[in-house]
A = this chain, B = another copy of it.
Amino acid sequence: MAKLGVAVVGVGTMGKQHASNLRRLIPEARLVAVVDADLKRAEQVAAELEIEHAFNTVEAVAERKDVQAIVVVTPAKFHGAAMKVCAQAVKDIFCEKPFTLALEEADELLDVTEKAGVRVQVGHVRRYDPPNVKAKKRIEAGEIGEPVIFKSLARDPAPPPVSYMASGVNGMFFQDSTIHEFDLGRWLMNDEISEIHAYGAVLVFPEIAQFNDIDTALLNMRFSRGTLGAVENYMQSGYGYDIRTEIVGSKGTIITGYLQQTAELVLTAAGAKTDIVDHFLARFAQGYLDEMRDFVQTILADRAPKVDAFDGRQSVAVAAAAERSYREGRAVQVQNRTRSSRAA
């Protein structure tokens, strides 16, 4: 078996997880190098994962012949620059979500990567979360009749450090966080979101106001075929990492997601108690592995990725519309594109 030579660019929490999965659990891949703007960090991860190469530029891996695919896990504002280097070097790309933070850049990158003829998979991990995978199959099999409402909520345990906010761009809540739900809705409803109405507020994390951002959002949306959707995104659950989705159909409903992390129920005079999922790496461990394995197998098999640059771009467009709706206090049409025949 010829292994796929892969490099991971950006080895913070998420990038390191991808690198570890590639190194340990996806035998079809060979992790050639890790890259980080912070070379020390790259070297440390390389040592820990027992691989040879650590670099601090995308170019350093883009020019290598033993690297066929590049996994981009930089801060979102650098996704575009990194992908352009990859495209120029004709390397296939896995890009962590969001595809980009701005719609114009998403359009540009969609064109650039199409022209370069490189494959792009975007890291919308929800599509690989096993309960969602099962739900999708049930919907397609008609088990809940016609799907008519998509609902999803995402609650982080606590706001990110102010430093994380400072490293991003201002006002990126919808683009950086809620975007997960937009892609999930598009996929499960097998439809485009055509209109969105967003309420946002700073309710629990006043420090975020300096970044022109919000900590709480409720969004309602209309899909192009007339069905409806509702999304909640909240930065400070106070209890854990809570992701739940419902697809309501004409004959039934599917609920995915869970709260309990450890299969232990404690019964005392204080009541019945379980713990709660505490981190996205725990919640989506299987999804992260499955999406990366699928990426590697997709490239090796010369197939089209299941969630590609077009999908990435469309969700960026929804996020942009959400942002505008929140700012302008009115429902906003999403600037959807049609999938080009080349991308299909």
Nearest to A222 among chain B residues (CB) is: B199
Stretch at the interface among A37-45, A262-270, A306-314: A262-270
- B248 and A155 form a contact (CB under 8 A): yes
List, in ascending order, chain B residues with CB within 8 A of A258's CB.
263
Task: Give the residues in chain B near A219, CB-CB below 8 Å.
Answer: 220
Interface assignment of A232: CB less than 8 Å from any CB of chain B = yes
CA distance A19 to B270 in the complex (A): 33
Assembly CA distance A234 to B135 (angstroms): 20
Query: Do B232 and A253 have beta carbons less than 8 Å apart?
Result: no
Within 8 A of B (CB), among A230-271: 230, 232, 234, 236-240, 242, 248-260, 262-271
Once bound together, how far apart are the Cα atoms of A145 and B158, in whole Å?
14
Q: At the interface, yes or no: A170 with Cβ under 8 Å from chain B?
A: no
A interface, size bucket: 35 or more
Binds B, one of A59-67, A117-125, A273-281: A273-281
Q: Hey, which chain B residues are within 8 Å of A266, CB to CB?
A: 138, 143-144, 252-254
Q: CB of A227 within 8 A of chain B?
A: yes
Check A160 for interface membership: any CB of B closer than 8 A. Answer: no
Are B269 and A252 touching (Cβ within 8 A)? yes
* Cross-interface CB contact of A250 among B148, B236, B274, cutoff 8 Å: B236
A258 to B274, CA, bound (A): 12
Which residue of the partner chain B has the closest CB to A237? B253
Known contacts A148-B203, A331-B330: does B248 contact A237 (CB below 8 Å)?
Answer: yes
Partner of A260, one of B135, B197, B272: B272
The answer to whether the Cβ of A130 comes within 8 Å of any Cβ in the partner chain is yes
Contact B267 A255 (CB under 8 A): yes
A24 lies within 8 A of chain B by Cβ: yes
Q: Which chain B residues border A227 with CB–CB below 8 Å?
A: 201, 203
In the bound complex, residues from chain B placing their C-beta under 8 Å from that of A220 are: 197, 199, 218-220, 230
Pairwise interchain contact B226-A201, C-beta atoms closer than 8 A: yes
* Complex interface: chain B residues within 8 A of A267 (CB): 237-240, 242, 252-255, 259, 276
Q: Does A50 contact B (CB under 8 A)?
A: yes
Contacting residues of chain A (116-156) with chain B, CB-CB under 8 angstroms: 130-131, 134-135, 138, 143-146, 148-149, 151, 153, 155
Query: Chain B: which residue is nearest A226 at the CB level?
Result: B201
Expressed in whole angstroms, the Cα–Cα distance for A204 and B147 within the complex equals: 10
> For residue A153, which residues in chain B have a CB less than 8 angstroms away from its CB?
151
Q: Which B residues lie within 8 Å of A143 (CB)?
A: 266, 268
Task: Please give 8 more A-B residue pairs, beta carbons under 8 A apart, in addition to A236-B250, A253-B267.
Answer: A134-B262, A203-B227, A203-B250, A218-B230, A230-B232, A239-B271, A272-B273, A330-B331
Shortest beta-carbon contacts, A-B, top 9: A252-B268, A131-B264, A258-B263, A238-B251, A239-B267, A148-B203, A131-B263, A255-B265, A253-B267
A sample of 20 cross-chain residue pairs with beta-carbon separation below 8 angstroms, ordered by A number, consists of A24-B25, A143-B266, A144-B238, A148-B201, A148-B203, A149-B218, A199-B220, A199-B221, A199-B222, A203-B226, A203-B250, A204-B250, A234-B248, A239-B267, A239-B269, A252-B269, A253-B266, A254-B266, A255-B264, A272-B274
